């Protein structure tokens, strides 16, 4: 099984946790022994943080692999994968580290397990610097399922910065192969909806203010659509700690989904949080792509594994996406091309087509 170790430089490009997630997931899937050096070398707190560690340990447990150098602050790890197995797997960041990022690293792996899996992920569900669980459930899930699999995402408890304490259970069955996707026809926006939440001690008025400010901001640009943003008070038994935030989703005639979201912080007024999310959504609608900037990089690993040619139309290609492509090419030997879109309607916009010849990964267990 084990060939020569693949060397990954954790300090290039995005230079953070993402390199670790993409490279260890691919290592696990392809049975490639891996060494990652200079982990988060340029960050203010270099090396592994608790959430990276829990992700690595989860991948190790998923495949009965061996992991060396995995401790807080470590800038180099060695990982030797074995056979991926299904069943129940738990990962706990013990902080507000994002459960969504834990899902990102583990999901591609368990698709190629021998039997169904249940991932119990603990940490922050609505945390900074990561997708919110609502984004994962409302945007990532329906789009990624176009690769030909389904998963169930059960939000048991929401958790916020700084304590975390959230829990999400993801259930999925393995697949034989992934189908390629084509997300190039954006269609026109048909609905805009969302949720503005408060949890813990924050007054419900904050949720209403975020929603109202977001609606006002969107109305300035999109006048002919009803914008339905529900203010929500998270039930006490389903939320740990205090938090507030908003996610707004635009759906198109061809089933594309775009989002804007924002989280409240101490001393930031509710209107500002709502407006930030609305402006993010509007920016994602201006570029003419068929996926938003956050979905881009999350689709790359699936495109690389699929059997056949996948195409997605995007706005400006993010550093996260360039990083994911780089490592998918280095480790999986998938072939990607990124070209400016040649469609007339995109001529005035910064729109690209990312195309990938996937490697046609086959599940050896099925």
Q: What DSSP designation does 267 have? A: T
Q: Which of 52, 89, 320, 326 is catalytic?
A: 320
Contact in structure between 155 and 191 (CB atoms under 8 Å):
no
Report residue 351 as tokens.
């729109």
104 annotated as belonging to a binding site for a ligand? yes
Q: What's the pLDDT tens digit per position in 117-143? A: 999 999 999 998 899 999 999 999 999
Q: Mean pLDDT across the stretch 200-209?
A: 98
Over range 162-168, report the average pLDDT.
96
pLDDT digits (tens, 9 = 90+) for 260-316: 999 999 899 999 999 999 999 999 999 999 999 999 999 999 999 999 999 999 999
- Looking from the CA of 136 toward its CB, the CA atoms found within 13 Å total 24
- Tell whether residue 183 is among the known ligand binding residues: no
- The mean pLDDT of 154-171, rounded to a whole number, is 97
Average pLDDT, the chain: 96
Q: What average pLDDT does range 18-27 have in this prediction? A: 98
Residue among 293, 269, 272 nearest 281 (CA): 293
Average of per-residue pLDDT across 228-255: 98
What is the model's pLDDT at position 4?
85
Q: How big is the CA angle at 80 (ends 76 and 83), to the nearest 5 degrees? A: 145
Contact present, 67 and 61 (Cβ < 8 Å): no
Confidence of residue 1 (pLDDT cuts 50, 70, 90): low
11 pLDDT above the threshold of 90: yes
As its CATH architecture, domain 189-287 has 2-Layer Sandwich (3.30)
Q: Residue 137: is the preceding peptide bond cis (ω within 30°)?
A: no
Strand ranges inside the chain, DSSP E = 6-9, 34-37, 66-68, 77-80, 87-92, 117-123, 151-159, 166-172, 182-183, 189-199, 227-233, 239-240, 243-252, 257-263, 309-314, 335-340, 352-357
First to last CA, the chain: 19
CA distance 109 to 154: 19
CA 22, CA 259: separation in Å to the nearest integer? 23
C-alpha 66/C-alpha 89 separation (Å) is 16
Annotated binding-site residue? 30: no
Residues 6+ apart with CB under 8 A from 111: 149, 172, 174, 175, 178, 363
Amino acid 323: pLDDT: 98
Q: Is 102 marked within a binding site?
A: no
User: Can you give the pLDDT at residue 345?
Assistant: 86
CB of 62 closer than 8 Å to CB of 81: no
Confirm whether residue 296 is marked as ligand binding. Answer: yes
Give the domain 6-183+291-359 fold: UDP-n-acetylglucosamine1-carboxyvinyl-transferase; Chain (3.65.10)
pLDDT of residue 344: 86
- 2 pLDDT more than 90: no
pLDDT at res. 177? 98
- Span 58-114, pLDDT tens digits: 999 999 999 999 999 999 999 999 999 999 999 999 999 999 999 999 999 999 999
Q: Give the per-residue pLDDT at 331.
A: 98
Residue 292 has what pLDDT? 96
Is 326 among the residues known to form the active site? no
Structure-token match 């290039």, residue found: 12
The domain segmentation of the chain, as residue ranges, is 6-183+291-359, 189-287
């Amino acid at each position: 099984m084990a060939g020569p170790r693949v060397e990954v430089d954790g300090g290039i490009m995005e230079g953070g946790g993402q390199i670790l997630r993409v490279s260890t997931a691919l290592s696990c899937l392809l049975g490639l022994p891996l060494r990652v050096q200079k982990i988060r070398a340029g960050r203010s707190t270099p090396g592994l943080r608790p959430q990276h560690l829990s992700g690595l340990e989860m991948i190790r447990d998923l495949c009965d692999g061996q992991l060396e150098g995995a401790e807080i602050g470590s800038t180099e790890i060695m990982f030797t994968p074995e056979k991926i197995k299904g069943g129940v797997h738990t990962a706990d960041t013990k902080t507000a580290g994002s459960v969504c990022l834990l899902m990102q690293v583990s999901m591609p792996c368990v698709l190629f397990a021998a039997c169904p899996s249940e991932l119990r992920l603990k940490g922050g569900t609505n945390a900074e610097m990561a997708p919110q669980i609502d984004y994962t459930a409302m945007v990532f899930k329906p789009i990624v399922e176009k690769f030909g699999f389904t998963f169930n995402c059960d939000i048991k408890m929401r958790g916020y910065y700084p304590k975390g304490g959230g829990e999400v259970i993801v259930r999925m069955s393995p697949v034989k192969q992934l189908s390629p996707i084509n997300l190039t026809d954006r269609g026109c926006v048909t609905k805009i909806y969302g949720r503005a939440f408060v949890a813990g001690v924050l007054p419900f008025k904050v949720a209403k203010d975020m929603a109202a400010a977001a609606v006002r901001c969107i109305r300035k640009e999109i006048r002919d659509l009803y914008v339905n943003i529900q203010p929500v008070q998270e039930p006490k038994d389903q939320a740990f700690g205090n938090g507030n935030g908003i996610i707004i989703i635009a759906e198109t005639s061809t089933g594309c989904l775009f989002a804007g979201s924002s989280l409240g912080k101490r001393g930031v007024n509710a209107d500002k949080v709502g407006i930030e999310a609305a402006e993010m959504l509007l920016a994602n609608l201006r570029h003419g792509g068929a996926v938003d900037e956050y979905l881009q990089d999350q689709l790359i690993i699936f495109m690389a594994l699929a059997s056949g040619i996948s195409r997605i139309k995007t706005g400006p290609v993010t550093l996260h996406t360039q990083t994911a492509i780089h490592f998918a090419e280095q480790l999986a030997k998938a072939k990607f091309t990124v070209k400016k879109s040649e469609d007339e309607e995109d001529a005035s916009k910064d729109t690209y087509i990312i195309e990938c010849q996937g490697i046609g990964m086959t599940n050896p267990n099925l």
